[in-house]
Chain A
Amino acid sequence: MRQLFAPGADALFRLALLTAAACLAALPVVGAGLMRSSYVTGVGVAPAQPVPFSHKHHSGELAIDCRYCHTSVETQATAGIPPTHTCMTCHGQIWSGSDMLAPVRASYARDEPLHWTRLNKLPGYVYYNHAVHVQNGIGCSTCHGNVTEMQLTYRANAFEMSFCLDCHRNPEKYVRPKDEILTMTWSPPANQAEIGPELVRQYHIRGGERLTECAICHR
């Protein structure tokens, strides 16, 4: 034994150093990517529900108004999940023998609500009010996506703070006229730059500076 290390040791050692450096550099990239992946955010993932309810069929093909089921969206903080009674107004008459709807009938018979798996959840320290947004030019599809295309309902956006802030910083880019609120296919028109500020003024939205104050959402 002449030397402490064999000639190949250098290649190995340098490879190990480079690997360590690469891992170190990759750590934040992988971490940031993971936190944005649908594995963590749940975007695009339709969880199992007691009944495979289709927004595409009901609100798309049959064109039932959103507010028929989500009754409190214009007046209260939460949009509201319909009680079984709402389902049974129709399904007491049609598809009344369907196996698929058996859980609905059972819920109705036992007078016990269906246990839907919640999709859109905000942390407890975030104050959110549906009525305020819907009454002031923010349409359903801005946050929930085009539900009329969803066979099974999934989360359309990760409700992370940056998502909220995009709009709160520049509300004029997202506000719509009153009659477009429920339009699921709405996208900013070509002249949004002109009508946006005008709408902001009409809705009495006080602009990005006010909307990005901490206490607007964290009360």
Chain B
Amino acid sequence: MSGTVTPLPARPGLLAAQADFASIGRAVAGGPDRTRARPWWIAFAGACGLLAVFAAALFWLLLNGVGVWDNNNPVVWALDIVAYDWWIGIACGALLVSTTLRLTGAPWRSAIDRVAETATVLAAAAAALYPIIHLGRPWVFYWTLPYPNTLALWPQFRSPLVWDAVDIVSFLGLASSIWYLGLLPDLAALRDRAFEAALAELRAADAGRGRRRRTTLLRAQAYGILALGWRGAVVHWERWLLATRTLAVLGLILVVSLQTGASVMLAGSVLPGWHDTLLPVTFLIGSLLSGVGVTAALTVLVRRALALEALITERHLAALGRLMLVLGLASAYCYATEIFASLLHGDAFDRAVVVRRLAGAHAWAFWTIVACALLPVQLFWLRAARRSGPAVALVGILVAVGSFADHFMLLIVTLSHDFLPSSAHSYAAGAWGVATLAGSVGLFLALLLIGLRTLPMVSIVETRRLAEAHPQGPAAGEAAPREPETAPAPLWGVTAEFASARDLAAAMRTVGSLGARREAYGPVPMPEAAEILGQPAGHIPLFALAAALAGAAAFMAMCLYAVGIDYVFDIGGRPRLSWQSFVVPSVSFGMLCGALATVLALLVENRLPRLNHPAFNIPDFTRATQDRFFLAFEARDDRFDAERIERALLSLRGPRALMIRRVPR
């Protein structure tokens, strides 16, 4: 396709017409500056106030024990487990959306995947506190993990408490990996932008205008360290694509395992109301709905706060609205089926639970689900509502509230009244329980606001890939190549700068390698250039698979050894090797191992971190993370002939290089 322009579909309303690589970078990377306004400080102060409530609630909890939440017997699982399930449900749902969209290659994911992944990490962090603080003695929380102890004891691997501990550690590890790997090229873009600012300041100071501030450079270096020296080489991008997709598969498996595992955990008890065979699906859909709701609300917030209307368009909001509508309908189906099945062939206790859910002491929970989750999403039948930011955000928040009521109903209604009237005991959430919940919301919000101010909340890379797939407006001007600069030897290589990945690939085809080692750098993946240079071996998924299998097998083997061989312990006549109860934590741990292996393999194969590299000597190389593509001919041996390469680049017909340069070592 060299020289010709393949007609591409016009932008399907997912990106403003005038958006190009540079403007996308400016809009997202400059976003943090726009959050210095007063509303940010007001919101941050509010979040910090909630955090203070959290601190007070935790202090009171440590002083007095979990009784302050008004948990009782039989309602031993109350607000703590409800809140944990709620947070982890939101995290799972958001991760499921992001991974599914990545795997299916939906073009509109560009606007929401960073928001969804951030929501995942933050919700998981809020959830992670609960398994610790709901313990009677939180300071010995590490007793739930297998560690070399002097008690000759293992954690009780059949206990959901241990599942929770392993699951949450694995989930946090995997979600952070996905989030950080996606962020890596964006951090490089932020680094280069900050470095440009530092250089401009330096030039101004040399010219006697303004003064040099140390913090500008430190800021660039901080982003630089976080970006691990990412320089956007072709193979790096190819491996990055492979790694992000691998992580998405691992995340998908983990989410399904966690949510179905949670429902199976309930079904493992004898209590009524927790045994419907549809329950695993109900859990997954409920989690997805709450995850999409929170993601939608945050997307609208990001769009509004960072003024990103050009990148997060009404089409994105409409897609989120449709998703909520579909999931809301699916959720309504699940509730209806469960009620119908219980009434049709459930036993008397099951039917009693249904009646108590609909009309008992905690009936408000069920009707909150109806009023906050099932009904409001019907608004999105209307086109106008789907395209309205406030409507999408409001319904998103309502859906999250409804989801909380769902978890409350599921646990409390069953627990507060089981089989015997004598063991029934009512439950009302205590003030300290509510304070703890509010505090965990404060934690989520505070971290989110800090992220809003320091990190790109919309994926720059994904948005640029969208812009590249749907070009708009006139092609970049036919700039005549400038004469090569003569630099003192020794040479690292000769580089040519291009306006687009297609120009670069065309030039690579025309010029050939000319006895040098070729490498290309750019702000987005360059599949054409990768084809010419040779695709990297696809080791990463294999590493991930091997690590996931080994990790899961090792965890399962450890559980079996612990309960079946090392410390045989008869609990209610359960079988000695009850492998079924170890499946969920084994899968979780396997996925964590897979994720760590993926990240490690990506870094090792790409020889990262590499903070100082000859490629960074290329003049204007900071634009390699912005809107320019660089082709480098590296001097490897005596056959390297700089003049010949420059002549070949200068004589390019069709798309031409904007700049040709000799780069010193």
Residue pair B220, A4 in contact (C-beta under 8 Å) = yes
Residue pair B225, A13 in contact (C-beta under 8 Å) = yes
Residue pair A162, B151 in contact (C-beta under 8 Å) = yes
Given contact pairs A1-B202, A161-B153, A28 touches B148 in the complex (Cβ within 8 A): yes
The answer, yes or no, to whether B87 is at the interface (CB within 8 Å) is no
Complex interface bits, B182-206 against A, C-beta within 8 A gives 1, otherwise 0: 0000000001000100010010000
The answer, yes or no, to whether A32 is at the interface (CB within 8 Å) is yes
Complex interface bits, A164-189 against B, C-beta within 8 A gives 1, otherwise 0: 01100000000000000000000000
Residue pair A162, B191 in contact (C-beta under 8 Å) = no
Residue pair A4, B221 in contact (C-beta under 8 Å) = yes
Leading 8 A-B pairs by shortest Cβ distance: A162-B152, A5-B611, A161-B151, A160-B150, A32-B148, A165-B152, A3-B616, A9-B611
Contacts of B616 in A (CB 8 A): 2-4
Contacts of B612 in A (CB 8 A): 3, 5-10
Enumerate B126-176 residues with CB–CB distance to A below 8 Å.
147-153
A113 to B646 alpha-carbon distance, docked (Å): 100
Name the prevailing secondary structure of the B interface residues: loop
The answer, yes or no, to whether A201 is at the interface (CB within 8 Å) is no
A8 to B540 alpha-carbon distance, docked (Å): 30
A9 to B202 alpha-carbon distance, docked (Å): 21
The residue in chain A whose Cβ has the minimal distance to the Cβ of B603 is A17
Interface residues of A (CB under 8 A from B): 1-10, 13-14, 17, 28, 32, 35-36, 158, 160-162, 165-166, 209, 212
The answer, yes or no, to whether B609 is at the interface (CB within 8 Å) is yes
Residue pair A160, B221 in contact (C-beta under 8 Å) = no
Contacts of B217 in A (CB 8 A): 4
A212 to B221 alpha-carbon distance, docked (Å): 58
Contacts of B224 in A (CB 8 A): 4-5
A47 to B254 alpha-carbon distance, docked (Å): 54
Contacts of A212 in B (CB 8 A): 567, 569
A209 to B570 alpha-carbon distance, docked (Å): 9
Contacts of B148 in A (CB 8 A): 28, 32
Contacts of B610 in A (CB 8 A): 10
Residue pair B152, A158 in contact (C-beta under 8 Å) = no
A3 to B664 alpha-carbon distance, docked (Å): 12
A158 to B149 alpha-carbon distance, docked (Å): 13
Contacts of A35 in B (CB 8 A): 150
The answer, yes or no, to whether B337 is at the interface (CB within 8 Å) is no
CB A4 to nearest CB in B, in angstroms, measures: 5
CB B440 to nearest CB in A, in angstroms, measures: 27
Contacts of B568 in A (CB 8 A): 209
Residue pair A160, B609 in contact (C-beta under 8 Å) = no
Residue pair A36, B150 in contact (C-beta under 8 Å) = yes
Enumerate B574-624 residues with CB–CB distance to A below 8 Å.
609-612, 616-617
Contacts of B147 in A (CB 8 A): 28, 32
Q: Can you show 11 pairs from A to B with CB atoms below 8 A apart?
A: A1-B199, A1-B202, A2-B616, A2-B617, A4-B217, A4-B220, A4-B224, A13-B609, A162-B152, A166-B152, A209-B568
CB A64 to nearest CB in B, in angstroms, measures: 34
A1 to B220 alpha-carbon distance, docked (Å): 13
CB A13 to nearest CB in B, in angstroms, measures: 6
Interface residues of B (CB under 8 A from A): 147-153, 191, 195, 199, 202, 217, 220-221, 224-225, 229, 567-569, 609-612, 616-617
A35 to B197 alpha-carbon distance, docked (Å): 52
Residue pair B150, A162 in contact (C-beta under 8 Å) = yes
A1 to B612 alpha-carbon distance, docked (Å): 12
Residue pair A10, B202 in contact (C-beta under 8 Å) = no
Residue pair B152, A17 in contact (C-beta under 8 Å) = no
CB B24 to nearest CB in A, in angstroms, measures: 22
Contacts of A8 in B (CB 8 A): 612
Residue pair A161, B152 in contact (C-beta under 8 Å) = yes
A3 to B617 alpha-carbon distance, docked (Å): 6
CB B226 to nearest CB in A, in angstroms, measures: 11
Contacts of B152 in A (CB 8 A): 161-162, 165-166
The residue in chain B whose Cβ has the minimal distance to the Cβ of A3 is B616
CB A8 to nearest CB in B, in angstroms, measures: 8
Given contact pairs A3-B617, A13-B611, A14-B609, A160 touches B151 in the complex (Cβ within 8 A): yes
The residue in chain B whose Cβ has the minimal distance to the Cβ of A29 is B148
Contacts of B569 in A (CB 8 A): 212
Contact of A10 among B199, B567, B609 (CB under 8 A): B609
The residue in chain A whose Cβ has the minimal distance to the Cβ of B228 is A13
The residue in chain A whose Cβ has the minimal distance to the Cβ of B224 is A4
Residue pair A10, B150 in contact (C-beta under 8 Å) = no
Contacts of B617 in A (CB 8 A): 2-3
A162 to B568 alpha-carbon distance, docked (Å): 15
CB B66 to nearest CB in A, in angstroms, measures: 19
Contact of A4 among B149, B153, B195, B567 (CB under 8 A): B195
CB B146 to nearest CB in A, in angstroms, measures: 11
Contacts of A6 in B (CB 8 A): 612
| Residue among A13, A158, A162, A209 with most chain B CB within 10 A | A13
The residue in chain B whose Cβ has the minimal distance to the Cβ of A160 is B150
The residue in chain B whose Cβ has the minimal distance to the Cβ of A33 is B148
A2 to B199 alpha-carbon distance, docked (Å): 9
A14 to B220 alpha-carbon distance, docked (Å): 19
The residue in chain A whose Cβ has the minimal distance to the Cβ of B611 is A5
Contacts of A160 in B (CB 8 A): 150-151
A2 to B221 alpha-carbon distance, docked (Å): 14
CB A208 to nearest CB in B, in angstroms, measures: 9
CB A172 to nearest CB in B, in angstroms, measures: 17
A8 to B225 alpha-carbon distance, docked (Å): 14
Contacts of A165 in B (CB 8 A): 152
A17 to B152 alpha-carbon distance, docked (Å): 34
Contacts of A7 in B (CB 8 A): 612
Residue pair B150, A161 in contact (C-beta under 8 Å) = yes
The residue in chain A whose Cβ has the minimal distance to the Cβ of B610 is A10
Contacts of B195 in A (CB 8 A): 4
Contacts of B611 in A (CB 8 A): 4-5, 9-10, 13
The residue in chain A whose Cβ has the minimal distance to the Cβ of B622 is A4
CB B241 to nearest CB in A, in angstroms, measures: 25
A17 to B225 alpha-carbon distance, docked (Å): 11
CB A190 to nearest CB in B, in angstroms, measures: 27
CB A207 to nearest CB in B, in angstroms, measures: 12
Contacts of B202 in A (CB 8 A): 1
Contacts of B191 in A (CB 8 A): 4
| Residue among B150, B195, B224, B616 with most chain A CB within 10 A | B150
CB B599 to nearest CB in A, in angstroms, measures: 13
A14 to B152 alpha-carbon distance, docked (Å): 38
CB A156 to nearest CB in B, in angstroms, measures: 16
A191 to B217 alpha-carbon distance, docked (Å): 77
CB A7 to nearest CB in B, in angstroms, measures: 5
A59 to B94 alpha-carbon distance, docked (Å): 72
Additional A-B contacts beyond A8-B612, A10-B612 (13; CB < 8 A): A1-B199, A2-B617, A3-B616, A4-B221, A4-B611, A5-B221, A5-B611, A6-B612, A10-B610, A28-B147, A158-B150, A165-B152, A212-B569
CB A6 to nearest CB in B, in angstroms, measures: 6
| Residue among B151, B195, B217 with most chain A CB within 10 A | B151
The residue in chain A whose Cβ has the minimal distance to the Cβ of B202 is A1
Contacts of B609 in A (CB 8 A): 10, 13-14, 17
Contacts of B229 in A (CB 8 A): 5, 10
| Residue among B569, B609, B611 with most chain A CB within 10 A | B611
CB B610 to nearest CB in A, in angstroms, measures: 6
A198 to B195 alpha-carbon distance, docked (Å): 81
Contacts of B221 in A (CB 8 A): 4-5
A36 to B152 alpha-carbon distance, docked (Å): 13
| Residue among B147, B148, B612 with most chain A CB within 10 A | B612
A79 to B568 alpha-carbon distance, docked (Å): 33
Contacts of B151 in A (CB 8 A): 160-162
